[in-house]
Amino acid sequence: MWTLSGALWVPLDKTLKQISQLKCHLQCIEQLKSALSSVLSLKLPDYSEPFHLFCDIKDGHMTAVLSQKHGVAFRPLCYYSKKLDNVTLGLPPCVQSVVAAAEAVLASAEIVLFIKDLCTRHLLLWSGLVLV
């Protein structure tokens, strides 16, 4: 399982607010435990290799995984999940994908960008939040 669906977190958040033990919530907790235990261990970034960012939108949530190639497969560096805001949800699906990709780039910026004393061909030049 590459990415965990952000929709799994919504019932858990409701559980914390209402302290109710509904069957739906317990099922989501078990699915989340299973998903987390089956995920490959996260890899540390290798700044001499290019980064790959995979992004998806499902049920109003964006999920993304930042990874690097390790042999013939991609190994995950970190996972991101976020509920899209109402304005974004009102846009066409193609625009939602662009917004989700932008959110994923901003979320991964701490790992991929702003590395002091390191200049490789894989890093982007940024000026604030605008690509140069």
Q: What pLDDT was estimated at residue 8?
A: 66
Write down the H helix ranges in 7-92. 9-18, 23-38, 86-89
Same structural domain, 78 and 125: yes
Distance, in Å, from the CA atom of 62 to the CA atom of 99, rounded to the nearest integer, reads 9
Same structural domain, 91 and 26: no
Same structural domain, 58 and 111: yes
Q: What is the mean pLDDT of residues 101-111?
A: 88
Same structural domain, 23 and 73: no
Label residue 59 exposed, middle or buried (CB < 10 Å: 0-12, 13-18, 19+). exposed
Rounded to 10°, the helix 23-38/9-18 angle is: 130
Same structural domain, 114 and 126: yes
Same structural domain, 69 and 111: yes
Enter the tokens of residue 21: 């033990």
pLDDT at residue 29 is higher than 70: yes
Range of the domain at 48: 40-131
Of residues 50 and 33, the one with the higher pLDDT is: 50
Output the DSSP codes for 40-53: PPPPPP-TTS--EE
Same structural domain, 44 and 84: yes
Q: What pLDDT was estimated at residue 22?
A: 65
37-94 pLDDT, tens digit each: 665 667 788 888 888 999 999 888 999 999 998 888 888 888 888 899 999 999 999 9
pLDDT at residue 110 is higher than 70: yes
- Give the CA distances from residue 86 to residues 18, 61, 69, in Å, rounded to whole numbers and listed in that order: 23, 11, 35
Same structural domain, 7 and 56: no
Q: What pLDDT was estimated at residue 126?
A: 44
Same structural domain, 25 and 90: no
Enter the tokens of residue 117: 């004393």
Q: What pLDDT was estimated at residue 113?
A: 75
Average pLDDT, the chain: 75
Q: Say how many domains are in the chain.
A: 2
Same structural domain, 115 and 55: yes
Same structural domain, 89 and 127: yes
Same structural domain, 119 and 96: yes
Share of the chain above pLDDT 90, in %: 20
CATH number, domain containing residue 113: 3.10.20.370
